[in-house]
Structure 1
Amino acid sequence: MTDWHQFIASQTTTSNATGVSGKGFFSALTDLGLMACSGDDAANFLHNQLTNDVEHLTLDEARLAGYCTPKGRLLASFLMWRSADSVMLEVSRDIQATVQKRLQMFVMRAKAKITDATDAFVILGLGGAAVAPVLAQWFPVVPAVPFGKVDTDAGTLVRVADAAGVPRYQWITSPAIALSAWPALDAGLEFASPEAWRLSEITAAIPHITLPTQEKFVPQMINFEAIGGVNFKKGCYPGQEIVARSQYLGKLKRRMLPASVSAAEAVAGMEVYADKDAEQPCGMIVNAARDHDGVYHCLIEIKTAALDGDNIRLGLNGAVLHFSALPYALPDTV
C-alpha cells in the first residue's frame, strides 16, 4: 500500500455531501483507473478503436469515448485527454485490466503501447462554486466550460459536466502533490466519500460502464451520443455499423433516465420491471448511489414505451422508481 492509499484510508469522510450543494466538496476517486497510450501511432490507433475522435483531440480539452464489441455493445466508457506524450484514458477500475489487455491485443504493428498509469497519479473529484478559488494557487485559470482542460506543474485539471448548474472538476496529479495540497483543500472544502462524486455524476446524467454492465448497451441506449461520446463523422471502429444504424434507422426505443428509489439496495446491473408486463425486464440500472437520507439515485436504461403511465419497479414486485427529467436534451432522432 502506498503512502497515498494509507493516508486516504486514515481520513474520515462526510456521509452527507450531495455533490451539488454546500460550500463545495472534494473526493479521492479511488474507484477509477488510468491508462496511458503512448507512441507515434497512439492517437491513430485509439481513433480506430473508440467511438470518438482521438486524432483531433487537443491539449486544452477532454472528451468522452466508448469502446465497443463488434456488435456495438459497450465494453467500456472513458474520459480521455492528451498529455505531453500520451493519450490518457480514465476508466472504471473494476474493468481496467481486461479492457487494457483487449486494446493491447489489437495494437499489432502500430507504434503504440498501453500502460497502467493508475499508481502514478491521484484523481480528485471536486464540486461546487468554492472550488475555483481554492484551486487558484495551483491553477490560476480554471477551465471555463465543461470538458475544458488546463495543465500546470501541479497536474491536469479537467472541468467535467456540471451537476444542477454547479461546476465540477477532476484534478489528476501526483501522490506527492495531492498530499501537500490536502491541508488547503480540507480547509476550503468538505472532504466527502466517492459516493458524493457518484451522486454528482448521476445528477449530471453521465453514465459509466462497470463490470456488471459490460456488453449490455449500445451507446445510444445510455445517451452517450447526446453527451458528446460518439462522433458519427469519424472513420470505422469496432461496432461502428451497429451504432450508426441505431442512430439513423428509425426511432430509438431505449434511453437512459434518472430515477430515485427507496430500497434496501440498488446497484448497477439490477433489472427493472413494468407492472403491465412483469414477465420480462424493461430496463436496467446503469449506475446508482445513495444519498444521506438512504434514497438511491440511479441512471436507468429503459424501453421508452414502458414509461407510458405505468409503475416501474426495481426487480420483480420491488419498490417503485420515481423518474425525473434529464439535465440535457436528446437529439432529434429520438
Structure 2
Amino acid sequence: MPAAFLPSRSLIRLTGKDAQDFLQGLITTDIDSLPEGEARPGALLTPQGKILFDFLVWREGDGFVIETETAQRETLMRRLTMYKLRAAVDIAAGPEDGVTVFWGDDSGQGSVKDAAFAKAGIPLARAPSKLDDGPEEAYHALRVEAGISISGHDYALQDAFPHDVLLDQTSGLSFRKGCYVGQEVVSRMQHRGTARRRVVIVSGEAALPASGTEIVAGGKPVGALGSVAGNKGLAIVRIDRVGDALARGVPLSAGDVIVSLALPAWSGLSFPVEAEEAET
C-alpha cells in the first residue's frame, strides 16, 4: 500500500458543546452533514469571499480535527479564537507531528477517508503522526494526477475564491447551510455562474518549468503553474481565455514547453465551447 509522510501538516482540535455550531456558522464546509470517518476540505474566507485559510476537517469523538499547513496553524488558531466570543469551544494545537497518508484499497489504522480524493476516484486515507517513511513528493505527484490543489503550492492565500480551487466540487463548499463568513459572495458567484478561474491539470510535451511560470496563449497569460511533477502540473487558469484559445486553435505554452490543459474529469466541468472575447 503506497504511503507518504507529510511533515508540513499539523492539527488543531476543537472540543466543547458548541464546537459543531461554531464551525457550521464560520467555515465553508457543511459540518452538520459531515459523517464519521470522512475528512472534507474546507476554508475560512475573508468577508470578500476569498480563501483566508484552507484545511481538512473531520469528526473525532464529540469534537473535530482540522488539518492544515504547519506554517498557518498558529494564525488560524488565533483567527478561530477571535470568532469564538462566548461559545463553549476549546481550541488547541494537536501534539502530533505531521500526517501520514495512505492510498489504494487499504488504509491505516485510525485513519479517515479523504473526500476530495474520493471524488477523483482515488481511495486515500489520512492519519495523525508519522506512521510511514514514504516520500512527500509521491503524495504531491498524486495530487497533481488527481487535480487537487492546496495553498502554498498552487495558490496564495487571500488570492483565490473557493470556486477557483474546486471546493464547490469536493464537498468543501456548501450552498445549503446558513450564513458563514464570505457566504454571500460565493453564493452569488454560484448562482450567477461567474466562476471563470478553475484548477486544471497541465501536461507538457517536455518537463514543465518551475512553479510560478506563466501559461500563455498567443502571448497573453491565462494562468500560472502551481505544483509541478515532471511533465505534469496544476494551474489555476481563466477558463474563458483557454476556451477562446482552443476555439481559435491557438497553442498554449509554459516557458518554452508546449502544454495541454484539462479540467479534472471528475469535476464535470468543461471549457467554454464558443469563442468569447477574453477580458483584458
TM-score tier after normalising by the smaller chain length:
0.7 to 0.9
Q: Is 1:257 matched with 2:197?
A: no
Q: Kindly tell me: are residues 328 and 195 of structure 1, through their superposed partners in 2, closer, same or farther at Cα, counting changes over 3 Å?
A: same
Aligned ranges for residues 276-295 of structure 1 at < 5 Å?
276-278=218-220, 281-285=221-225, 287-290=226-229, 295=230
Query: Following the alignment from structure 1 to structure 2, what is the Cα–Cα distance between the partners of residues 168 and 284?
Result: 27
2:12 to 35, 38, 47: 35
Q: Which residue of 1 aligns with 2:278?
A: none
Q: How far apart in 2 are the matches of 1:245 and 1:164? A: 26
The residue matched to 2:35 in structure 1 has which SS?
coil
- Cα deviation for residue 76 of structure 1 reads 2.1
Number of residue equivalences: 263
Change (3 A) 1:213 1:318: farther
Q: Secondary structure at the match of 1:210?
A: coil
Q: Secondary structure at the match of 1:213?
A: coil
Q: Secondary structure of the equivalent of 1:321?
A: strand
Amino acid at match of 1:201: R
* Correspondent of 1:167 among 109, 118, 123: 123
Task: Structure 2 unaligned segments of length 5 or more: list them.
Answer: 273-280
- Alpha carbons of 1:159 and 1:64: their partners in 2 closer, same or farther (altered >3 Å)? closer
Structure 1: state its 5+ residue gaps: 1-23, 139-154, 183-190
Q: Which moved more, 1:195-204 or 1:256-265?
A: 256-265
Q: Tell me what 1:217 maps to.
A: 160
Which residue of 6, 22, 30 maps to 1:53?
A: 30
Percent sequence identity is 24
Partner SS for 2:34: coil
Structure 1 residue ranges (4+ consecutive) displaced by more than 6 angstroms after TM superposition: none
Residue in 2 aligned with 1:193?
A: 135
**Alignment counterpart, residue 327 of structure 1, candidates 248, 265, 269:** 265
Distance 1:96 1:84, change over 3 A: same
CA RMSD, Structure 1 to Structure 2 (Å): 2.7
Task: Show the 5 A alignment for 1:1-334.
Answer: 24-117=1-94, 119-120=95-96, 122-129=98-105, 131-132=106-107, 135=108, 138=109, 155-160=110-115, 161-162=117-118, 165-172=121-128, 178=131, 191-210=133-152, 213-261=156-204, 262=206, 265-267=209-211, 270=212, 272-278=214-220, 281-285=221-225, 287-290=226-229, 295-307=230-242, 308-309=245-246, 310-314=250-254, 317-330=255-268
Q: 1:233 to 1:163 in 2, by over 3 A?
A: closer
**Amino acid of the structure 2 residue aligned with 1:156:** S
Decide whether the 8 Å contact of 1:274 with 1:306 is kept in 2. no
